[in-house]
Structure 1
Amino acid sequence: MQRRRFNQWLGGLSASALAVPALQAQAQARPLLKAGDQKGGLQALLEAAGELKGLAYDIQWTEFPAAAPLAEALNAQAVDLGPIGDAPLIFTLAAGSRVKAFAVNRSDAYGTAVLVAPNSPLKSAKDLKGKSVATNRGSIGHFVTLKALASVGLKAEDVQLRFLPPADAKLALTQGSVDAWATWEPYTALAETGGHARVLVSGRGLWSGLSYLAATDTALRDKRSVLQDFAQRAARAQQWARQHPTEFGGTLARIIGIPVEAAKLQFERRQTRWQAIDAEVIAEQQRTADFYLDAGLIKQRLDVRATFDTGFSAPA
């Protein structure tokens, strides 16, 4: 009798022991999306719009101050995806990163600009000759600087480029260590509304305004449904924000820690729209890549068609 009870107890223990790893496996079956972000980017937008609710997967967020460190994280597989402008995406792809763009949006290019101090004597791009300009290497700020110079017949060699991250570049401008700072939103709006800078040259007519969601080849292979859902949520969040600009401006300011005035300004003038990756987008991306080749920032011509994954539904 005692032996029978022992066997029954042992059988129950075995079943319980087997159930523990089964439950753990079930809990771990929920996909994890490692999302890179830039300041004032997707996390704040999705949170404000309520699009982080009801997820069938978990998100691990990592924020970067600029596209360059985000691109490095993508290349190292430290993140699965992230928002990145057309020029820095080309820069990292030319360096051998195994990532592709799978969703695209277009913004008004005004806030990607070359800034100067409010009292600077500089009045136009021509005045940059012989001056120092701080920006991130390979960034859209770098790109707009080169395009601004080219528009007035100048070359990169005609200015002193100092490659600094946004915080250091802003400090250098306010302290007078550089003559200009080429940057993007929300840094442009922050500098303007804070009285630290004014726009010398805006990106309108110089930059396409294209930005992408880029993902690693591994994530594109293994997490396609998650990436598709994430892109759709980002597009819905953008639409919600356009319909609720005041509410979104306040929420964005709280989440990313900037004044409401700056948050609202950078959002309203961006006028971001998600769209399909079409022939026009690819052609514009090719022109940007060719410009970087001519400027000597990449060494070989990049055929951008291979850098897109067009197998996703366009964000609606």
Structure 2
Amino acid sequence: MARRFSIGWHRLALALIVGLLASCGSTSNDAASDGQTSTRSLRIGYQKGGSLPILKGNGTLENRLRDVKVEWIEFAAGPPLLEALNTGSIDLGSTGQTPPIFAQAAGTPLVYVASVAASPTGQALLVPKDSPIQSVSELKGKKVAFAKGSSAHYFAIDVLREAGLQYSEIEPAFLTPPDARPAFDGGSVDAWIIWEPYLTIALKATDARVLHDGSSLAPSHSYYLAAKSFAEQHPDLVSATLEEIQKVEQWSQQEPQAVAKILAPVIGVDAAILEEVAKKQAFGLSPINDTIVNEQQQIADTFFELGLIPKKVSIREAIWTWQPAQASAQ
């Protein structure tokens, strides 16, 4: 009797152990399965200008990346966009030439993934319509509004240098576009450097005068930037995004009215204004070559020489190589 009980007990214990192991194995497999099927994400920072809000509006990136959760986050200017890149809140975005230099100097681990030539008239120095100021040289001692670390920051340096003035000879008023507009309207600043579409909006609403645009200045670029770790871990997503931007740019060049209709609800700007902006927008996404690297390095060196960034930065060390011909291979 005791022997039968012992055999029965051993069989029961063995069954319990096997069941427990099977249960543990099932949980592990389920977790592994969950890991394999978890959805990747792509968080894109965009501003009111450029091609990214067009891409957001037409939805082609989501159609292509059906297994990826695409999120869009709007920013008023480039510096806060790259701050979000630094903190891990976004993976990819687009800014003018200056924000990535300030971000690099602050230690942000970013990479330049593509560039596009900026429109020479896409940014301008404005003064009120009744201002006595008639030339850039008359800005000496005046208060000029622009966003710190934005493309307008270097525009200020460049346009002043062309007029024979030093950057130290004006009083910078560091204001983002939403804050600069009321300051400009209220007369608390003498001039304002601003980019599209804020530029056209201001010209329509205030009858401000363009004192100087970028037509006589050195060519400049806007950049698509990504978190370094994201570009290294998900090169297919970066390439796919750039390829879809190329496609939307090819279409946008031919259809400014359609672009305006897509953009209006995305960025909350009147379609008539956006159509005018679209007709002036520069297109032509391309990989970053040595000429562009050298131009960007000169800008970075200028900021360092003026004491506006704390250390020298190397643009070449932050280049991610994109090969458009292979962009579709995922």
TM-score by length of 1: 0.88
The superposition leaves residues 234-255 of structure 1 with CA deviations (integer Å, 9 ceiling, x where unpaired) of: 1111111111111112221232
2:158 aligned to 147, 164, 187, which one?
147
TM-superposed CA distance for 1:41, in Å, is 4.2
Which is worse superposed, 305-314 or 284-293?
305-314
Q: What corresponds to 2:64 in structure 1? A: 54
Q: What corresponds to 2:241 in structure 1? A: 230
Q: What corresponds to 1:106 in structure 2? A: 117
Q: Is the 8 A contact 2:185 2:206 kept in 1?
A: no
Q: What corresponds to 1:190 in structure 2? A: 201
1:241 aligned to 240, 252, 255, which one?
252
Q: Is the 8 A contact 1:40 1:252 kept in 2?
A: no
When residues 50 and 73 of structure 1 are mapped into structure 2, their CA distance, relative to the original with a 3 A threshold, is closer
Q: Does 1:179 align with 2:179?
A: no
Q: Which runs of 5+ in 2 are unaligned?
A: 1-15
Q: Is the 8 A contact 1:117 1:196 kept in 2?
A: yes
AA partner of residue 315 (structure 2): V
Q: What corresponds to 1:93 in structure 2? A: 104
Q: How does 1:262-281 map to 2 (within 5 A)?
A: 262-281=273-292
The superposition leaves residues 22-44 of structure 1 with CA deviations (integer Å, 9 ceiling, x where unpaired) of: 7754552x210111111234442
Q: Does 1:84 align with 2:121?
A: no
Q: What corresponds to 2:81 in structure 1? A: 70
AA partner of residue 227 (structure 2): T
When residues 163 and 131 of structure 1 are mapped into structure 2, their CA distance, relative to the original with a 3 A threshold, is same
Matched residues, number: 308
Provide the C-alpha distance between the structure 2 equivalents of 1:109 and 1:76, rounded to a whole number of angstroms.
Answer: 32
Q: Does 1:35 align with 2:7?
A: no
Provide the C-alpha distance between the structure 2 equivalents of 1:226 and 1:64, rounded to a whole number of angstroms.
Answer: 21
Which is worse superposed, 19-28 or 241-250?
19-28
AA partner of residue 44 (structure 1): P
Provide the C-alpha distance between the structure 2 equivalents of 1:204 and 1:89, rounded to a whole number of angstroms.
Answer: 23
Q: Is the 8 A contact 2:246 2:285 kept in 1?
A: yes
AA partner of residue 187 (structure 2): G
TM-superposed CA distance for 1:98, in Å, is 0.9
When residues 231 and 89 of structure 1 are mapped into structure 2, their CA distance, relative to the original with a 3 A threshold, is same
Provide the C-alpha distance between the structure 2 equivalents of 1:304 and 1:200, rounded to a whole number of angstroms.
Answer: 32
Provide the C-alpha distance between the structure 2 equivalents of 1:285 and 1:91, rounded to a whole number of angstroms.
Answer: 12
Q: Which runs of 5+ in 1 are unaligned?
A: 1-6
Q: Is the 8 A contact 1:75 1:216 kept in 2?
A: yes
The superposition leaves residues 44-79 of structure 1 with CA deviations (integer Å, 9 ceiling, x where unpaired) of: 211344423232422121111001101111111221
Q: What corresponds to 2:308 in structure 1? A: 297
Q: Is the 8 A contact 2:50 2:281 kept in 1?
A: no
Provide the C-alpha distance between the structure 1 equivalents of 2:265 and 2:311, rounded to a whole number of angstroms.
Answer: 44
Q: What corresponds to 1:285 in structure 2? A: 296
CA RMSD in angstroms, aligned pairs only: 2.6
Q: What corresponds to 1:4 in structure 2? A: none
